[in-house]
Amino acid sequence: MIASYIVGNLLRILEFLLFARAILSWFSQAGGSRLYEFLCMLTEPLIQPFRSLVSQIDAFRRCPFDIPFMLAFFTIIVLEQVVYML
């Protein structure tokens, strides 16, 4: 029980960090800020495996959306739901 509580909270924190990164990416002034760089440093290791996977699919290369980011975000949400069901 305690382990699932801790893992669930860590996943929720990661979800919040990804959400904050997405919101800050909409503002051009935030692109070079220390907060945005810090969020990228924390979240990029989560997104990078999805980037390498998606880069192998030619159809996604020209997509205007950040598909790897969305895959990472939704994966964390699914994992969070699985943890809370345990």
Strand locations in the chain, DSSP E? Answer: none
14: containing domain: 2-85
Write down the pLDDT at residue 31: 66
Structure tokens at 78: 């699914």
Q: Following CA atoms 4, 78, 42, 28 in sequence, which dihedral angle do they give, to the nearest 10 degrees? A: -140
Contact 36/21 with Cβ under 8 angstroms? yes
Asked whether the beta carbons of 36 and 25 are under 8 A apart, the reply is yes
Number of separate domains in the chain = 1
Q: What is the pLDDT of residues 22-65, one digit of tens each?
A: 998 888 776 678 889 999 999 999 999 999 999 888 888 788 88
